Structure 1
Amino acid sequence: MKVIGCFFAVVLGLSACTKESDALKAALQTNNSPVTAPIPVQPALKRGVLYSTSGIQVMGVVKIIQQASGLQVQLDSFSVSAGPDLKVYLSQAATPGNHLNLGNLQSNSGTQYYNIPAGTNLSAYPFVLIHCQQYNHLFSYASIQ
């Protein structure tokens, strides 16, 4: 008796999946699925490739982009070795010193955005740095042009 009950449960379950599958096919064929607009890609005002320092692995591209809210640094296709207290700087040189701290590194990988303070003269800061502030160790730099 248990075998017959299990058989009917399996048949009922499979027919329910078929009905859901048929309903899904019908919904897709009616072309009533919502259309999403593509996210606009902002052209880079400046860009540069990230280079690593001794013992650090890094890859990615730095872009300066204009958003409605203002200028931003974008780290694109980005990854860097893990480290403590990593910061993103706009800098006057390929080493920390005269720099503008844009904040903590959000993640060791992925596309990220950092706001540039309004009124910043970009020509005065031709480098983007990833720097460990705690141990004063430069992880990565990019010359942006």
Structure 2
Amino acid sequence: MKKHIYLIAVIVVALFYSCTKSATSSDPLNEQVGSAATPVTSAMAFTSANSYTVTGNVRVYQKDGKLVLALENFKSTNGPDLRVYISKEMQPVNFIELGRLKSVQGNQLYDIPGNPDFNTYKFAVIHCQQFNRVFGFATIK
């Protein structure tokens, strides 16, 4: 009986730790697109979602013939497995993953593969893949 109680306690502690562990860095970043980059879209503000807080702006730039998504003056609630998407919807179903969120604060750059149509892929989304929760989104215009 004591072995079962001990085993249950270990499992509960392991589950609690894995659900609260932050996988995203909180070190501020200051990545810059540089003066040679050309803005493709306007800077649009993030909207928070699902009781999380996301602030800052998103903008797309053309740099060296490639598209780059810039998170500017960005700050987000931390969480496990945060990802950056461009999506056709605010709740991502049809999306392109740009990568793991590098940090919950600061200026960040993400390469955009291909040449997506921003009339179709109209949202930048911060999404927790592990729990399928949107932390915030911004319209790309």
Normalising by structure 1, what TM-score? 0.69
SS of residue matched to 2:103: coil
Native 8 Å contact 2:38 2:63 kept in 1: no
In structure 1, give the amino acid aligned to 2:130. Q
CA distance in 1, matches of 2:35, 2:98: 24
For 1:31-70, what aligned pairs fall within 5 Å after superposition? 39-40=34-35, 42-46=37-41, 47-70=43-66
RMSD, aligned α-carbons: 1.4
Alignment length, in residue pairs? 107
Give 1:121's aligned residue.
Answer: 117
Give 1:28's aligned residue.
Answer: none
Q: Deviations over 1:88-144 (max 9, x none)?
A: 000001111011111100000000000011232332201000000000000000011
In structure 2, give the amino acid aligned to 1:108. V
In structure 1, give the amino acid aligned to 2:93. G
Normalising by structure 2, what TM-score? 0.71
CA distance in 2, matches of 1:73, 1:104: 13
Aligned-pair identity in percent equals 35
Structure 1 unaligned residues grouped into runs of 5+: 1-38
